[in-house]
């Protein structure tokens, strides 16, 4: 099995990188059977973005702080663990952000696409699902669309629902909403087309972010799931991502 080890810049990750390369060798990304990122969730997301067009499975090892997206770090049985790992398939969201100046920026998100106010003034956003206006004016800090993989990240901290892996649904979650008073979000089919129209965007500027890619001063953001893009992430059977997401609902 040809492994490609990738490391974040932390001392802990670099130390693990040296130990694993010495033991298992290291191959170029173009020749690898499996990519093994060493670091935290942020580095894992970065690597997954790089792997979207490579079709090589990823087996992350936690050398960061939280490591929700990672497997536990061990050196001595890596090949056996990869052989026994469970394959989890992730599909990203596509963000098309239309800026006030007429530019259009596109990016993909594994966790979520979020809109956030840029100033002290609240954002005013129209919510459109499948060309049907669902909310004429959402007033608050912003709004997001989250995938099942991202439902336990920013979405959960904004009081959005936890979505089991494999579900053909997405979460639409407001961020600190003020109006409508009682709306706390929605669950929509993964094939739905979502559009957020920023109202009075010059007075109340809004930015859009796809994972860690930010576009400022947007006036409309279109979001859809890209089912044609599959990212294969490998997890230990006893501690896979599906179980972790399920368990988050009971903690």
Half-sphere exposure of 208 (CA within 13 A, CB side): 30
Q: Could you count the other beta carbons within 10 Å of the beta carbon of residue 42?
A: 15
Domains, the chain, ranges and CATH? 3-90+230-250 (3.40.50.10330), 93-225 (2.60.200.30)
Which tokens is 175 given? 């961020």
Give the three-class secondary structure for 223: strand
Return the CA Rg of the chain: 19
- pLDDT per residue over 147-175, tens digit each? 999 998 999 999 999 998 888 999 999 99
222 is catalytic: no
Phi, psi angle pair for 124, to nearest 5°: -115, 115
Give the three-class secondary structure for 111: coil
Q: Could you count the other beta carbons within 10 Å of the beta carbon of residue 173?
A: 26
State the burial class of residue 87 (Cβ atoms within 10 Å of its Cβ: 0-12, 13-18, 19+): exposed
In angstroms, the CA 8 to CA 30 distance is 19
* Span 49-77, average pLDDT: 90
Q: Could you count the other beta carbons within 10 Å of the beta carbon of residue 153?
A: 22
pLDDT at residue number 208: 98
pLDDT-wise least confident of 28-42, 67-81, 232-246 = 232-246
Residue 217 has pLDDT above 80, yes or no: yes
pLDDT at residue number 52: 87
C-alpha distances in angstroms, 211 versus 45, 101, 147?
8, 23, 11
What integer best gives the mean pLDDT of the chain?
94
- pLDDT band per the 50, 70, 90 thresholds, residue 109: very high
* Span 199-210, average pLDDT: 95
**Global confidence as pTM:** 0.89
Partners of 71 in beta bridges: 61
In this structure, the strands spanning 169-179 and 93-99 are unpaired
Catalytic one of 41, 83, 87, 228:
41
- pLDDT band per the 50, 70, 90 thresholds, residue 65: confident
Residue 240 has pLDDT above 80, yes or no: no
């Amino acid at each position: 099995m040809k492994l490609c080890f990738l490391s974040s810049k932390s001392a802990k990750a670099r130390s693990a990188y040296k130990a694993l390369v010495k033991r298992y060798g290291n191959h170029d990304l173009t020749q690898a059977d499996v990519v093994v990122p060493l670091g935290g969730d942020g580095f894992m997301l970065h690597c997954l973005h790089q792997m979207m067009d490579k079709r090589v499975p990823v087996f992350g090892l936690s050398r960061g702080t939280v490591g929700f997206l990672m497997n536990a770090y061990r050196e001595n049985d890596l090949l056996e663990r990869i052989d026994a790992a469970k394959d989890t398939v992730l599909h990203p969201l596509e963000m098309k952000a239309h800026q006030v100046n007429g530019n259009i920026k596109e990016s993909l998100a594994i966790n979520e696409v979020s809109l956030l106010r840029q100033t002290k003034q609240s954002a005013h956003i129209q919510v459109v699902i499948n060309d049907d206006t669902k909310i004429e004016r959402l007033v608050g800090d912003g709004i997001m669309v989250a995938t099942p993989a991202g439902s336990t990240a920013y979405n959960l901290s904004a009081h959005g629902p936890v979505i089991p892996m494999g579900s053909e649904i997405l979460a639409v979650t407001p961020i600190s909403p003020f109006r409508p008073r009682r709306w706390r979000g929605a669950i929509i089919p993964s094939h739905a087309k979502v559009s957020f129209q920023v109202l009075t965007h010059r007075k109340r500027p809004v930015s859009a972010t796809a994972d860690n890619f930010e576009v400022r001063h947007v006036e409309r953001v279109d979001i859809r799931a890209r089912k044609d893009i599959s990212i294969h992430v490998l997890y230990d059977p006893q501690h896979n991502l599906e179980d972790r997401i399920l368990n988050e609902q009971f903690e």
